[in-house]
Chains A and B, each alone.
Chain A
Amino acid sequence: MRRRSLVVGSVLAGIAVLLLVAGVAWSLLKEGFLPNAPGAVATTATTAAITRGEYLARAGDCVACHAAPGGRLFAGGRAMPTPFGDLYVPNITPDDETGIGLWTPADFYRMMHTGVSRDGSLLYPAMPFASYTKVTRQDSDDILAYLQSVPPIRQKNRPHELRFPYNQRDVLIGWRALYLIEGEYRNEPTQTDQWNRGAYLVQGLGHCTMCHTAINALGGSSEAKAFEGGMIPNQNWYAPSLTSNREAGLGDWSIQDIADLLQTGISHRGTVYGPMAEVVYNSLQYLSDEDATAMAVYLKALTPNDSSPPVPDSARLVAPSVMESGRHVYVKQCAVCHGDEGKGQPPTYPPLAGNQSIVMASPVNSIRMVLNGGYPPGTRKNSRPHGMPPFAQILKDDEVAAVLTYVRVAWGNTGTPVSPAQANDLRKSIPE
C-alpha cells in the first residue's frame, strides 16, 4: 500500500516536472522571448555599425584595389602600375600579423584622415587619403568595424617596386605639402542637405577626383583643375571633365539620368564603360536611391568651366570620301543598335547623336570602344546588360577612323576627325 502510493506519487511528480518543463519551454519559445529565426536577427549597435560600414566601404570602393583578381576579399597583393613604378596593395583583412587586426579606431581614422599608417610610415597617394580626409570619424569607425568582421587572411604585404627617387618615402613629404588639405567635409550652409550629402560622397569616399582631375607629373591633382578631366595614367582611358558641357559635364542632364548612370550603369544620355564600369560594378550600384540622387544633384551643380578653347570650324573639315566610307561602315555594323540617325535605343543602346562622350576633344575612349567593344556592368538594376562587340579584328585602321569621324560630325555632332594613326596607336594597347 505504501509502496503503491509511492509509485503513484512518483508518477504524479514526474508528470508535474514534465508540465513544468513544458511550461517553461513554452514561455521561453513563444514569440518575442527568444531571438527569431536567422534573417530576422534583432539589430544591435554592433551589427548596425558593421552594416553601415559595409555600405560605406562600398561607397569608398575599397574592394577595387584591395582584392587581387581572383584573390580573396581585402587580402591585397594586387599590383598597381603607376608612372613611378609598381605599388602592391596591402592586406586590410583583420589578421593580427599581416593585416589590420590590431588597429584601433584612432589608428584607422589617422590613416584615412592624414595618410599616415599605424606604424607611422607615410602612405603613397595611390591610397586616396587626400579624398578620404573628408570622411567623418563616425563613418571611419564604422568602416573599420566592417573590415574587422570579414574573415582574416594571413598574407604578408609585398614591398612596392618604385623607381628612385620615388622609392624614398621622404618625397611624400613634399607631395603632401602640395596636394593634401587635411580636414573632414564641412557642410556648405547656403546649400541644401541633399547637395551637401552629394558633395560629401563625391569629394570624400567616392574619390572621383582621382580620375576626373588630371594627374600631373608629380602624381598630384591640382585643386584649381578639379573635375576638369584627364588621361588616366597607365590605363589608356580618358576620364572626361565633369565641369565641361563639351565632355561629361552634367549641366543639361536630368537628375534621374545622372543617378541612373551612376547606379545602373546605363541612362537615356549615355552608358558607362572602361574604368567607370568598374566603379559602378564594385561601388555605385550599391548606393541607396537617396545617395545616388544626392551625388547627381551635386554633380549637376558643379560650376561649368570650359578651360579649353573652342574648336575652330576649320578643324572639323572632313573629306567627302571619308564621310562616305564612314557612313558605309556605320550602316553595316552600327545602325542596327545605334539607329540610322544615331539616336540609339536608350537606355539599352546609347544615343551617339548629341552624346558628349562621342564628341569630346579626346577621341581615345570612342576609338577603344570600336576596337575592343564593351559590356556595361551587370548591376542590381540592370543585371543582364546588352553588349557591344569588338571590331578590331574586322575593321582596318582607316575604317575605324572613318566610322568614328562620321559619328563625331554627323547629325549635328561637333567633334573633329579621327586619323588612322590615332586608331592604330590604341590598337596596340591591350584592353584592361
Chain B
Amino acid sequence: MTGSPNRDGANAHRASRRFLFVLLSVLGVAVAHVAQAQDEAIPAFKTIDSIEARVQGCVTCHGQSGAGTRDGYFPRIAGKPATYLYNQLVAFRDGTRRYPPMNYLVAYLPDAYLKEIAEHYARQRPPFAASEATAADPQVVARGAVLATAGDANRQIPACIACHGRGLTGMEPGIPGLAGLHPTYIAAQLTRWRVGDRHALAPDCMQRIASRLSESDIAAVAAWLSLQQTSKDASPETFDRVRMPLACGSQQ
C-alpha cells in the first residue's frame, strides 16, 4: 500500500491538474502554430522596393519566408541551394517541369529575375515546423529508414543521404534539401520521376533512382523522410563530387 486514500486523492488531483496544464500547453502551442502558419500565408512586407515585396506572389503557398504552409502539398523552398531553385523556376517557366499554377505564375519572367528570386529563398533559414504525426506502419517507416540511410546495393539504389546530405539539407549547387517536406510532396515527386513526368538536367540521376523504386519503396521513404527533425543549421552541404554515387547533371 502506498499512501492514504487522502494522499491518493491529492495525487490524483495534482496529476489531473498537471494533465490539464499539459493539455492546455499543447493546445496553446498548436493554436499558436496554426496562427503563425496562417500569418505566414498572408501577404505582408515593409518596403515596396524590396525583394520581399516582389515575391509576395509566392507567399500564399510557400509562406512568407519559404518555410511552406500547413497545406499538405506545397514544399518548403527556404534554404534550398540557389542553383536548384533557379533550375526549377526556369523549368516551370519553359514548361519542362509541369505544375500549371507554377507554370502560369512565372511564364513571363526573365532569367535574371528568376535568379534573384532563387537567391532570396536560398538565403532564408526559417524554423522547421514540428514533424507531422504519421499514420504509417512502424515497419514501413523502418524500411524507409534503411533505404534512405543505406540504400539497397543489390538494386543499385543509393542512400538519399549520400547526395541530399546527412542532415537532409541538400548539397550545393543543385541538390535540394529534403527536410521539412510533406510526405505527400515527396511521394508525388518520386512518382512523377518514376513515370517520366519530371526530369532534371541530363544525366538525370533522380530518374535512374526513381525508376528502380517500387510504389511501396516510395511510400516508405516518404514516410521516414517526413519524420526527420533537422538541426538548426539547415545550410546545404558544400559540393563534394567524390561522394556522389551517380552522375547528376545538376551538379556539373
Contacts and interface: CB of A to CB of B under 8 A. Distances in A.
Q: Decide whether A and B assemble into one complex.
A: yes
Interface of A: 69-70, 277-278, 280-281, 332-334, 336-337, 345, 348-349, 372-378, 383-394, 430-432
B72 to A, nearest CB: 11
29 contacts: A277-B108, A278-B107, A281-B108, A333-B42, A336-B44, A349-B48, A372-B105, A373-B57, A374-B105, A375-B57, A375-B107, A375-B109, A376-B108, A383-B112, A383-B113, A384-B113, A384-B116, A385-B109, A385-B113, A386-B48, A386-B54, A388-B56, A390-B60, A390-B61, A391-B60, A393-B61, A430-B100, A431-B103, A432-B100
Given A280-B108, A374-B105, 17 more contacts: A277-B108, A278-B108, A333-B42, A336-B45, A337-B56, A348-B53, A349-B48, A374-B104, A375-B106, A375-B108, A378-B113, A384-B54, A385-B113, A386-B53, A389-B56, A389-B57, A393-B71
Given A70-B96, A387-B57, A389-B57, A394 B41 contact: yes
The 3 A-B residue pairs whose C-beta atoms are closest, nearest first, are A387-B57, A431-B104, A377-B108
Contacts of B41: 394
Nearest to B51: A384
A388 B57 contact: yes
Interface in B109-147: 109-110, 112-113, 116
A278 B41 CA distance: 28
Contact of B94 (A70, A278, A389): A70
A179 B100 CA distance: 35
Contacts of A431: 100-101, 103-104
Contacts of B116: 384
A144 B61 CA distance: 46
Contacts of A385: 54, 109, 113
A277 B107 contact: yes
A383 B101 contact: no
Contacts of B28: none
A393 B69 CA distance: 11
Nearest to A281: B108
Interface of B: 41-45, 48, 53-61, 71, 74, 94-96, 100-101, 103-110, 112-113, 116
Nearest to A279: B108
Contacts of A390: 60-61, 101, 105
B95 A70 contact: yes
Contacts of A334: 43
Given A333-B43, A385-B54, A378 B108 contact: yes
Contacts of A349: 48
A389 B43 contact: yes
A377 B93 CA distance: 12
Q: Is the interface of A mostly helix, strand, loop or mixed?
A: loop
Nearest to B38: A394
Q: Is the interface of B mostly helix, strand, loop or mixed?
A: helix
Contacts of A281: 107-108
A334 B103 CA distance: 23
Given A277-B108, A383-B113, A389 B58 contact: yes
Contacts of A69: 94-95
B101 to A, nearest CB: 6
A386 B54 CA distance: 4
B43 A337 contact: yes
Given A375-B109, A378-B108, A389 B60 contact: yes
B55 to A, nearest CB: 7
A394 B60 contact: yes
B201 to A, nearest CB: 13
A387 B58 contact: yes
Contacts of B110: 378, 383
**Which of B56, B59, B103, B113 has the most CB atoms of chain A within a 10 A radius of its CB?**
B56
B120 to A, nearest CB: 11
Contacts of A389: 43, 56-61
A383 B54 CA distance: 11
A432 B105 CA distance: 9
A432 B104 contact: yes
A276 to B, nearest CB: 10
Contacts of B56: 337, 386-389
A293 B54 CA distance: 28
Contacts of B96: 70
A277 B61 CA distance: 22
A332 B35 CA distance: 14
Nearest to B57: A387
A332 B44 CA distance: 10
B108 A372 contact: no
A373 B108 contact: no
A377 B96 CA distance: 19
Nearest to B41: A394
Contacts of B100: 430-432
A387 B107 CA distance: 12
Contacts of A432: 100, 104
Given A69-B94, A374-B104, A389-B43, A345 B48 contact: yes
Contacts of B59: 389
A390 B57 CA distance: 7
Contacts of B57: 373-375, 386-389
**Which of B60, B94, B116 has the most CB atoms of chain A within a 10 A radius of its CB?**
B60
B105 A373 contact: yes
Contacts of A373: 57, 60, 105
